[in-house]
Each structure stands twice: as structure tokens, then as C-alpha cells.
Amino acid sequence: MSTCRRLHVTVRTARGLFVSRRQTRLCGHLPSSQSLSTGTLLRNDFFKDLESQFSAMRKKASDALPGSSWSPLQINSNLPPERADIVIVGGGVVGWSIAYWLKQKERVRGGVKVLVVEKDLTYSQASTVLSAGGIRQQFSLPENIHLSLASADFMRNINEHLGVLNEDPVDLQFNHSGYLFLASEEVAHIMEENYSTQRNAGAKVSLLSPTQLKEKFPWMNTDGVVLASHGLENEGWFDPWTLLNAFRRKALSMGAIQCCGEVTDLKYRTSRILSADGDEMDLRRIGSVKVQMPNSLEYQPVECAIVVNAAGASSARLPEMLGIPLPVEPRKRYVYVVHCPDGPGLDTPFLVDYSGVYFRREGLGGNYIAGMSPEEGEEPDTSNLEVDHQFFEDKVWPRLASRVPAFEKLKVTSAWAGFYDYNTLDQNGIIGMHPLINNMYFATGFSGHGLQHSPAVGRAVAELILDGDFTTLNLSGLGFRRVLAQEPMLERNIV
Ligand SMILES: Cc1cc2nc3c(=O)[nH]c(=O)nc-3n(C[C@H](O)[C@H](O)[C@H](O)COP(=O)(O)OP(=O)(O)OC[C@H]3O[C@@H](n4cnc5c(N)ncnc54)[C@H](O)[C@@H]3O)c2cc1C
């Protein structure tokens, strides 16, 4: 085994304006300042700085490994490998689900080297952990219904899939209270059509008249409600963090590799191709990704055959590096935690009102979470995750209180905001390979439903990569064709 290791350092010039890179090969021993000084840009104080950083690292390594002499291989044990077959950018629930399924499907144990790169292991801004945790079959597109059915089945048997020997079983804290959609006169016909699509796809949903609704949920004011649909099976909510960690734990146990770093650049080659219409187009092929280490000047290029874009709300940045646009952007959504001692009880479903407001129970003891999407054109600023409390006062609370009179007396106890990975074309997932990027697969743009679909989406992406096509669920409708043709596949009654 070679004892050589490349160290990549970002260097500031004297004026501190321009950032350049330098690559050094370390063999056996640390290089002296002299052996590094091949460039002319570097100033002497840089070497002093570098040498003192090396000393600190040497000390850290010897402290960590008492009794063993320092070796350059331990410069930064967190660096990713220099090569991987598949690099997944983004270690949210979608990224880790894909990693799990790739390892699950590989034909030879250890045959596929899968690296998951996540820039923030605290997940402070990841949509997964900031979501409402809901799963429903009540969609209008068969693709989404089937994704939900398959994912619910996976979650029901989660320990068969994600259980790890000698580790605690996974407990998703799944609450089976279902979703309850309310329809006004205006949209009742859509609800009826959706209902038959859902039933045809195998979902267990029932329609309720306002009288039946009032009998079942006496705490509700049914004014304005003409029809309701209630999920009877496979619907409710669960703990997103547990699902993410379960995928991660299992994938790691199967040999996937994780690295904390940010993919900040892609190296690629371009070749000219002719489209079916005879137009010349550039086809990109990625050769390596640049992984920048956190709080450090170090980075590591990772050569790879395939890149998977599971970077959630910021996934457009990766194709942008190749000059390719992606209609996915962050859109801020607020979740308010409220307390109401006299609010609806244990059988409370995840209620979605036709006014756009939703709420569900959050544990026991009169706690709930609630929210709604803003009007198009009133989208909040996405430069931070601050919560707009006035939005609750003006928009959310009046609608909540009009549907559930007990909510007149609620108190907001806390709130948070998260980013939807919002697909501006049609608010649905984009799954598959871009026709102009030869080796980047996408799994993004799920808007408000990426968490619940992650188990089936991970399997679908692994099929595309390892089998060359979808083999269980045909999700070709969610591919790039509609994006390039600008033919939205819209959900009706979306939340
Ligand atoms: C308020 C709210 C409520 C929601 N409610 C629901 C719900 O009830 N049900 C549901 O199914 N869905 C819901 N969603 C949507 C759901 O959360 C997302 O669709 C889903 O979590 C997307 O998962 P992901 O793994 O793609 O994204 P994320 O969880 O955001 O993970 C992407 C990861 O990529 C990392 N990353 C990005 N760029 C890079 C890079 N260049 N290098 C390295 N790492 C990078 C990020 O740090 C992040 O951790 C909700 C979302 C929000 C905001």
C-alpha cells in the first residue's frame, strides 16, 4: 500500500482577494517548507502557517493514537476516498435511501463503492428534519399514489429492511390517524375524481358527507364543507429523523461510506452530439467532484463514474456548475407548534382544509402543529430560516379557528421554518438522468412530499443506475422529458 497522500489547500494571495489552489504530494514524511515552495504565488508566511497547521495535525494524530508514530495517512481521517463508483451529493433522507438501495441491490457484496457527501451533519437546514412528517395516499397522480403505497409498505416492515443485527430496532413512531381532506363546493368534483384514482391504485380512502364528518369528528365546524376524504390505511405521520438515521445506519452497515464535506465543484468533459432534430448539443460527463472539507482549507477531488444529485432545496447548484438549469429552488415554509388543552383528541387526523391550512396532533397533551403555504407572489425571503409570526396571526390562526372553534384559545409555543425543494414547474419530484448530463442522476424537487416518498424513490434511483431502467414502479413520467418539454404534471389538491 502506498504511503502517499495528496493534500489540497486553498491559498489566499497577499491581497486576500484571489483564491487559488495548490496540490502537494506527501510521501512518507511531511514536506518541509522548502519542498513545497515550487510556486511563486506563495508567501513565506503561508509556509509558516502551513507548518504550524501540520504540527497541530501531527499532535492531534499522535494524541488520538497513543503509542503509534504519526504517519501522513492520518492527516485528515475525514477526507473522502480519492475514488468512488457512485457519489451521492446530499445525506438527507433521499440521499441515504438511495445509498441503502444501491448497497441492497448490488450483485456482489462490496461491488459498488458508494460515497454519501453531506455538508452539514447537524442537518440544521435539511428539509428532512424540518418537515411535518406526514405520509398520505391522497394524491391525484398515480405515480405519487404508488410512491406512497410502496413507501408505506416499506415503513410497515421497516425492521425487515433497515434492522441492524445487535442494534435497537427502528421505531418510526408512526401515528396511523390518516389524512382528512376537506372540499368546498368548488373543488368537491376534484375530490371525487381523486378518490376514484386513489381507489383504483389500491389506496384505502373513504368519502364522507358533512353529516358523517360531524359524527366522526364532533369538534369540527363543517360550514362550507361539501365533501371530505379520509385515509383509512397507510396514512398519518412519523418521525423524519428516525427514518433518516435508520437509512444511514443500515447503509453504513452495508459498506456505504459517508463524508462530511461540501461538493463545491464538478470536473467534466463535453462532447458535441446531434439531437433528433439535427441540432448540435453539448453532452457533459462528470469525471470528479470536489469535496471541500468543513471549516478547513482542505479539499479532495473524488473521481467517480456516477453522481447522484440528492441535494434537496439547493440541488440546482450542481447542474448550474455545468451550465444546465434545474427548476428547483428553496421555498420557505413555516410550522407553528400550538397548545390548546381543549383541542381535538387522540383520533385527530392530519387535517387539510380547502382554505390551505393544515394541522395535526403533535404528541399528546393538547399539542398540535399547523401551517399553510403562502400565496404565489407572497413567497418569503429564503436567505434565512426566520419565522414570520405575523403570518400565523393573519393567515393561519383565523382559518384554524374557523374550522375548529376550540382553536380560538390556542397559544403558539414554538415554531420553525424549513425549505421545500420546490419544483417551480409542477411541484413534483424529478427522478432520473438529465439527457445532457451523461452520468448525473437526479432525485429532487419533491416540494412538500419528498420525505414520505423517500423509500420508494431510493429504490427507483438504484434501479435506474444498476438495472438501467425502472423495474418495480414505472416512474418515467417523473423524468426530465416533461421538464424539457415544459409540460407540467400537476397534482390537483396539492398541499
Ligand atoms: C416545513 C416542511 C414540511 C414538510 N412536510 C412534509 C411532509 O409532511 N411529508 C413529506 O413527505 N415531506 C414533507 N416536506 C418535504 C420534505 O421534507 C422534503 O421533500 C424531503 O425531506 C427532501 O429530502 P432530501 O433528502 O432531498 O433533502 P434534505 O433533507 O434537505 O437533504 C439534502 C441534503 O443535502 C445537503 N447538501 C446540499 N448541497 C450539498 C452539497 N453541495 N454538498 C454536500 N451536501 C449538500 C444538505 O446539507 C442537506 O442535508 C416538508 C418540507 C418542509 C420544509
Instruction: Please report, for the domain that includes residue 397, its CATH number.
Output: 3.30.9.10
Q: In terms of C-beta density within 10 A (0-12 exposed, 13-18 middle, 19 or more buried), how is residue 199 classed?
A: middle
Query: Do 251 and 317 fall within a single domain?
Result: yes
Is 363 a member of any domain?
A: yes
For 182-192, what is each residue's pLDDT tens digit?
999 999 999 99
Query: Do 313 and 455 fall within a single domain?
Result: yes
Query: Do 319 and 292 fall within a single domain?
Result: yes
For 199-231, what is each residue's pLDDT tens digit?
999 999 999 999 999 999 999 999 999 999 999
Query: Do 64 and 89 fall within a single domain?
Result: no
Cα 310 to averaged position of ligand 1 atoms, centre (Å): 9
Is 41 a member of any domain?
A: yes
Ligand 1 atom showing the smallest separation from residue 446 Cα = 19
Q: In terms of C-beta density within 10 A (0-12 exposed, 13-18 middle, 19 or more buried), how is residue 318 classed?
A: buried
Per-residue confidence (pLDDT) for residue 274, from 0 to 100: 87
Cα 334 to averaged position of ligand 1 atoms, centre (Å): 14
pLDDT of 15 > 70? The answer is no
Query: Do 335 and 318 fall within a single domain?
Result: no
Counting ligand 1 atoms within 8 A of each CB, the residue from 451, 478, 494 with the most, and so the one to mutate, is: 451
pLDDT of 271 > 50? The answer is yes
Per-residue confidence (pLDDT) for residue 105, from 0 to 100: 95
Cell numbers placing 108: 456482489
Ligand 1 atom showing the smallest separation from residue 128 Cα = 21
Amino acid at 227: L
Is 386 a member of any domain?
A: yes
For 89-144, what is each residue's pLDDT tens digit?
999 999 999 999 999 999 787 899 999 999 999 999 999 999 999 999 999 999 99
Query: Do 344 and 418 fall within a single domain?
Result: yes
Distance CA 1, CA 127 (A): 41
Per-residue confidence (pLDDT) for residue 55, from 0 to 100: 56
Is 183 a member of any domain?
A: no
For 274-316, what is each residue's pLDDT tens digit?
888 888 999 999 999 999 999 889 999 999 999 999 999 999 9
- Overall domain count for the chain: 3
SS3 content of the chain, % helix, strand, coil (to 5): 30, 30, 40
Per-residue confidence (pLDDT) for residue 275, from 0 to 100: 82
Ligand 1 atom showing the smallest separation from residue 134 Cα = 8
Cα 434 to averaged position of ligand 1 atoms, centre (Å): 21
Counting ligand 1 atoms within 8 A of each CB, the residue from 88, 131, 147 with the most, and so the one to mutate, is: 131
Residue 21 pLDDT level (bands cut at 50, 70, 90): very low
Amino acid at 16: G
Ligand 1 atom showing the smallest separation from residue 126 Cα = 30
Is 471 a member of any domain?
A: yes
For 334-390, what is each residue's pLDDT tens digit?
999 999 999 999 999 999 999 999 999 999 899 999 999 999 899 999 999 999 999
Ligand 1 atom showing the smallest separation from residue 318 Cα = 41
Mean pLDDT of the chain: 87
Kindly list the distances between the CA atom of residue 430 and the CA atoms of 88, 264, 462, in Å, as whole numbers in the listed order. 16, 22, 15
Nearest residue CA, atom 9 of ligand 1? 134
Cα 274 to averaged position of ligand 1 atoms, centre (Å): 36
pLDDT of 67 > 80? The answer is no
pLDDT of 74 > 60? The answer is no
Query: Do 288 and 419 fall within a single domain?
Result: no
Query: Do 292 and 337 fall within a single domain?
Result: no
Query: Do 376 and 440 fall within a single domain?
Result: no
Distance CA 188, CA 182 (A): 9
Range of the domain at 282: 84-129+242-327+432-484
Cα 266 to averaged position of ligand 1 atoms, centre (Å): 22
**Per-residue pLDDT averaged across 252-258, rounded?**
97
Is 211 a member of any domain?
A: no
Cα 395 to averaged position of ligand 1 atoms, centre (Å): 25
Residue 53 pLDDT level (bands cut at 50, 70, 90): low
Ligand 1 atom showing the smallest separation from residue 371 Cα = 1
Query: Do 321 and 387 fall within a single domain?
Result: no
Nearest residue CA, atom 33 of ligand 1? 90
Counting ligand 1 atoms within 8 A of each CB, the residue from 121, 125, 128, 136 with the most, and so the one to mutate, is: 128
Cell 414505472, residue? 474
Query: Do 40 and 125 fall within a single domain?
Result: no
Domain closes at, from 74, 94, 121: 74
Cα 309 to averaged position of ligand 1 atoms, centre (Å): 12
Residue 411 pLDDT level (bands cut at 50, 70, 90): very high
Query: Do 318 and 446 fall within a single domain?
Result: yes
Cβ < 6 A, ligand 1 pocket: 89-95, 117-120, 123, 126-128, 130-134, 262-263, 310-314, 333, 335, 418-421, 444, 446, 448-452
Cell numbers placing 479: 423524468
pLDDT of 45 > 60? The answer is no
CATH code at position 121: 3.50.50.60
pLDDT of 167 > 80? The answer is yes
Ligand 1 atom showing the smallest separation from residue 123 Cα = 49
Is 231 a member of any domain?
A: no
Counting ligand 1 atoms within 8 A of each CB, the residue from 119, 125, 127, 175 with the most, and so the one to mutate, is: 127
Q: In terms of C-beta density within 10 A (0-12 exposed, 13-18 middle, 19 or more buried), how is residue 59 classed?
A: exposed
Is 163 a member of any domain?
A: no
Ligand 1 atom showing the smallest separation from residue 419 Cα = 53
pLDDT of 29 > 60? The answer is no
